[in-house]
Amino acid sequence: MSCSNPQSEVKDPGADIPERRTKPKNNQCIKCKTAAPVIQIRHALYCRECFVYATSGKFLKWFLSNFKPNDVHPVFYVAVSGGPSSRYLLQLLHTQMSPRKGKGSFIRPGSAEKLVVIYVDQSKVVPGAENLRNHIEDMVKDFPSVEIIEADVSESWKGSQASISAYLSGQPGQPPSATASEPTADLFDSTLSTSSQESHLALLTHHIILREARKHADSLLGKDSTAPLFLGTSATRVTIKLLSSMSRGRGWSVGSGEVQPESTQYGLNVYQPLLNTSSKEIAYYNRFAIPAHSQAVVNRSFTTFSPPKSSIDRLTEELVVSLERGFPSTVSTVARTGNKISFAGETKEGERLCTLCGWPARAKANEWKNGIAITKLAGEEDESNPLADMLCYGCYTNLTDSRARSHVNYALPGWTDEYAEKQKVTESEMRKEIEDCLIDDNDNDNE
Amino acid sequence: MPPRPCQLCSNNRAMIKRPKTGQQVCKECFFFAFEEEIHKTISDANTFKRGERVAIGASGGKDSTVLAHVMKTLNERHDYGLELFLLSIDEGITGYRDDSLETVKRNKEQYQLPLKILSYNELYGWTMDRIVEAVGKKNNCTFCGVFRRQALDRGASSLNISHIVTGHNADDVAETVLMNILRGDVSRLGRCVEITTRGEDTINRSKPFKYTYEKEIVMYAYFKKLDYFSTECIYSPEAYRGFARTYIKDLEALRPSTIIDIIHSAENIRISEVVQDALPKQQKCQRCGYISSNELCKACVLLQGLEKGTAKMAIGSKAKHVSQEVSSDTRTIPMFKMPDQQVRNNQTNQTNQAKQSV
């Protein structure tokens, strides 16, 4: 039945829609009940002091539920882009690590002897973006025992032997035709659509953070050590990520409910303490509690100053912000949903992982899509597609986006070779798997 | 510029750029691919049994008109052996449904299929026009959706039909996935992408257009010159859904594969076991016998609200506070009876299971 409301036949359509924004009845702070409020968070009003106290308290509560009291770690790694969320995270981690004054019985949750800030510079690939190293140094100059690691996105291609064009042409071993630094420009200037570019940049940045943290932990703590890595993903950002990932065919890869497979490959414990804090709370906390000289800096992205319809992420951001304006529970609802879902495929040992993003992947990335559409007439044979064999559905769709102008000469990041090598099943492993069924001439059948 | 050849047959001139695949194809190849993809969806999911009586939910709109045409075509071409019916619900919306039902009546003649029309007035004693008078335009979709779902099942049951096919297309499914995420409804997130929803106490529902783009349905109707009614409901849907719908359309403009990609995401999602355990168990409504997750089904709660003049209390979380007591003179929904065929199937299944367990 076609009604303009397609949901109507599968679900009570009006139910459970997040509550509309309402104007609170009392014009008083919800905590102290005396001061005049300055900010409304969802349906509650706060004065400045109570808001800062409540926000810090929320972080402390999270910390206490994830770290043992008085447990001191050798190092905390924290990914910092220089933006509001990572600035907020830095501030709260700093507060956490600072020695407390007085003899109060206040419990001190886990802390670290050293804070290592990992900054990934995107200025070489994003037009108009700046290197924010100096700004980040300003942010942490009052912090005790801080080290900054700066990495460049273009480092992803170090040692790369695999290019998309080579995979598409069926010669995956062929090195990229350009020099090591050129494929960067090729990818971000002319190769992929804006939606693919931004998704790919986020993926590369995330992996560089993990790799840099691992490299540092290896030298400081030794191989096979584990260390906590903090990411400043806010509830608003995770909502945008969940919706845009759904639109990219990989909507399960956002939740924090399960350990993310790509982080386990690097032996790191990844924490996202801001998953229940909205970007509005972060912005106001920064404004109220952080000195002006060390405020966050907003760097340019691919879609800064672009209209909403310029990319999937930008469009999703516009949707979330518009909804949040009228229905303030949207972000917290979606962020919680992300924690309840995971990938439905194989999760046992030996599963196939995407060589680009490191998430579980089904056998052939293009098989599902080919199965639901007729693109050839009967009798025509399917061409082999090595790229589809090594990537997951989301990465494959992203790198072969039909809006892409071309996808030649783009070098896959260096770690794809590493991942692919790890996943190769050796002849001895294959034999081990089937050895029960093999007949050995020396075996005595009568046994 | 010389005419481009069809990318499928390479013979005819390409006339259509398919949004689903991006291929440029001729009209004949488009018809072939469109119909055979739907056949593949149906056959891969083992949707029908030979000899089954199947009702096509018909509103007179493009989706249900194309569905009726394609179902009849495929039933004959691939010899499904189905007995097809048209089933329409008259919600009682003056200037909208009465006009669209005229289209359904013409479809009945064109496709030579029996037609059953069941009205809200007949079943619930209320038309949508009266409901809107009582509750306003803001929440009327809640009433319409809940009532229509039951009405379709009751209409099918009265024809002894155990399977309904609806014209929900890929765009609708993607929109539903998105809406379920936005309202945190994880239980329905997994279920909403199933091609067929089956249950012992419910009539089977299938969506043969699950992987079919809305644009392609319009193209098919246009080139086949099908007769359909194209006006939107006069009681427009709520603003919240409007955000989701616009978002899906904008996404499609950015990357046409997005609609299918959303469905792929939802098909590959697993819901945490803790959440699954906390979900309410299905039971029968104590008043009308229809499947429900509470003692009273949603339709009974809504109808009771309308009858008592407290309709707004029956919507959303406030419904918990609605008294379940009902006076003898209040109108209630007749008892729901499963079609005999479905009852027989269920009994056969249970017997088979018992034999297997023995």
Contact A309/B141, CB-based, under 8 Å? no
User: Bigger pLDDT: B354 or B201?
Assistant: B201
| A51-65, A164-178, B89-103, B206-220: range with lowest mean pLDDT | A164-178
Is there a contact between A7 and B275 if contact means CB atoms under 8 Å apart? no
The CATH number given to A67-426 is 3.40.50.620
| Nearest-neighbour CA in chain A from B198: distance (Å) | 13
Cβ–Cβ of B316/A16 closer than 8 Å?
yes
pLDDT above 90 covers what percent of chain A?
26
For residue B272, the distance in angstroms to the closest alpha carbon of chain A comes to 5
Residues A208-221 have pLDDT tens digits of 898 899 999 999 99
Complete DSSP assignment for A180-198: SSHHHHIIIIIIS-HHHHH
Cα angle A290-A291-A294, degrees, rounded to a multiple of 5: 90
Q: Do B266 and A373 touch (CB under 8 A)?
A: no
Neighbour tally for B312: CB within 10 Å: 14
Nearest to B181 among A8, A334, A344 (CB): A334
Lowest mean pLDDT among A292-301, A398-407, B77-86, B296-305: A398-407
Residue A45 main-chain phi, psi, to 5 deg: -105, 140
Q: What is the pLDDT of residue A8?
A: 44
Tell me where in chain B the CATH 3.40.50.620 domain(s) lie: 45-272
The dihedral sign for the CA sequence A325, A326, A328, A331: negative
For residues A6 and A29, is the Cβ–Cβ distance under 8 A? no
Strands B204-206 and B196-197: antiparallel
| Cα end-to-end distance, chain B, whole Å | 72
Whether the predicted pLDDT of A444 surpasses 60 = no
Q: What is the number of other CB atoms lying within 10 angstroms of the CB of residue B267?
A: 16
Q: What type of residue sits at position B294?
A: N
Which of 428-447 (A) contact B at CB < 8 A? none
- Can you say whether residue A432 is alpha, beta or left, with left for phi > 0 and alpha for psi between -120 and 50 degrees? alpha
B344 pLDDT higher than 90: no
**pLDDT above 50: residue A181:** no
Question: How far is the C-alpha of B185 from the C-alpha of A334, rounded, in Å?
Answer: 10
Measure B200 CA to nearest chain A CA, in Å. 17
Residue A233: closest CA among A207, A199, A271, A283: A271
Contacts of B355 (CB under 8 A, 6+ apart): none
Residue B243 and residue B252: Cα distance in Å, rounded?
Answer: 14
Alpha carbon distances (Å) from A431 to A173, A413, A425, B177: 26, 32, 10, 44
Burial state string for B39-78 with b = 16 or more CB within 10 A and e = fewer than 16 = bebbeeeebbeeebbbbbbbbbbbbbbbbbbbbbbbbeee
B153 annotated among ligand-binding-site residues: no
Residues in B closer than 8 angstroms to A401, CB to CB, are 255, 257
Give the pLDDT score at B247: 94
A402 interface with B at CB cutoff 8 Å = yes
Position with higher pLDDT, A403 vs B156: B156
Which of residues 90 through 129 in chain B touch A, CB cutoff 8 A?
Answer: none
Residues of A in contact with B272 (CB under 8 A): 257, 339-342
pLDDT, position A22: 64
Q: Are B134 and B308 in contact (CB under 8 A)?
A: no
Is there a contact between A341 and B41 if contact means CB atoms under 8 Å apart? no
User: Has this prediction a pTM greater than 0.90?
Assistant: no
Cβ-nearest to B269 among A252, A368, A402: A252
Please name the residues between 121 and 180 in chain A that touch chain B, using a CB distance below 8 Å: none
- Name the strand (E) or helix (H) holding A89: helix A84-97
Distance from CA of A15 to the nearest CA of B (A): 5
User: How confident is the model over A2-7, as a mean pLDDT?
Assistant: 51
Instruction: List B residues 10-39 in contact with A (Cβ-Cβ < 8 A).
Output: 20-23, 29, 32-33, 36-37
Measured in angstroms, the CA of B334 and the nearest CA of chain A are apart by 20
SS (H, E, C) chain B: CCCCECCCCCCCECCEECCCCCCEECHHHHHHHHHHHHHHHHHHCCCCCCCCEEEEECCCCHHHHHHHHHHHHHHHHCCCCCEEEEEEEECCCCCCHHHHHHHHHHHHHHHCCCEEEEEHHHHHCCCHHHHHHHHCCCCHHHHHHHHHHHHHHHHHHHCCCCEEECCCCHHHHHHHHHHHHHCCCHHHHHHCCCCEECCCCCCEEECCCCCCCHHHHHHHHHHCCCCCCCCCCCCCCCHHHHHHHHHHHHHHHHCCCHHHHHHHHHHCEEECHHHHHHCCCCEECCCCCCEECCCCCHHHHHHHHHHHCCHHHHCHHHHHHCCCCCCCCCCCCCCCCCCHHHHHHHHHHHHHHHHHHC
**8 Å CB contact of A6 and B58:** no
Average pLDDT of the residues in A224-238: 91
Q: Are the beta carbons of A112 and A76 closer than 8 angstroms?
A: yes
**In whole angstroms, how far apart are CA B297 and each of A12, A69, A82, B157, B196?**
11, 49, 52, 18, 22
User: How do beta strands A227-230 and B16-17 pair?
Assistant: unpaired
- According to the annotation, is B172 in a ligand binding site? yes
- In this prediction, residue B268 carries a pLDDT of 87
Query: Backbone dihedral region of A307: left (phi > 0), alpha (psi from -120 to 50 degrees) or beta?
Result: beta
CATH code of B45-272, in short, is: 3.40.50.620
Q: Is B57 annotated as a binding residue?
A: yes
pLDDT of residue B217: 94
* Maximum average pLDDT range among A149-163, A183-197, A290-304: A290-304
Least confident of A5-19, A236-250, A311-325, B104-118: A5-19
* Whether residue B341 has pLDDT greater than 70: no
Is residue B351 pLDDT above 70, yes or no? no
Angstroms from A331 CA to nearest CA on chain B: 8
The DSSP bridge pattern shows strands B83-90 and B163-165 to be unpaired
Least confident of A1-10, A99-108, A233-242: A1-10
B278 annotated as belonging to a binding site for a ligand:
no
Give the residue range(s) of CATH 3.40.50.620 domains in chain A: 67-426
Per-residue pLDDT reduced to its tens digit, A410-423: 667 777 766 666 66
Residues 126-185 of B with CB under 8 A from A: 139, 141-142, 144-146, 148-149, 152, 166-168, 171-172, 175-185
Dihedral (Cα; B170, B175, B181, B187), 10-degree rounding: -60
Q: Is B63 annotated among the ligand-binding residues?
A: yes
Q: What is the pLDDT of residues A329-367, one digit of tens each?
A: 889 999 888 888 877 765 545 567 788 887 877 777 788
Per DSSP bridges, beta strands B283-284 and B291-292 are: antiparallel
Which residue, among A178, A173, A200, has the nearest Cα to A188 in the 3D structure? A200
Which of A236-240, A296-300, A354-358 has the largest mean confidence?
A236-240
Q: Which residues of A touch B260 (CB under 8 A)?
A: 249, 369, 372
**Choice between B264 and A187, residue whose per-residue pLDDT is larger:** B264
CB contacts < 8 A (A, B): 243
Spell out which residues of chain B touch residue A362, defining contact as CB-CB under 8 Å: 268
Contacts of A397 in chain B (CB under 8 A): 257, 261
Please, are residues A371 and A393 in contact by the beta-carbon 8 Å criterion? no
Instruction: Name the band, by pLDDT with cuts 50, 70 and 90, for residue B95.
Output: confident
How many angstroms separate the CA of residue B45 from the nearest CA in chain A? 12
Q: Which two tokens stand for residue B194?
A: 């199933």
Q: How confident is the model at residue A60 (pLDDT cuts 50, 70, 90)?
A: confident
Question: Are A14 and B141 an interchain contact pair (Cβ–Cβ within 8 Å)?
Answer: yes
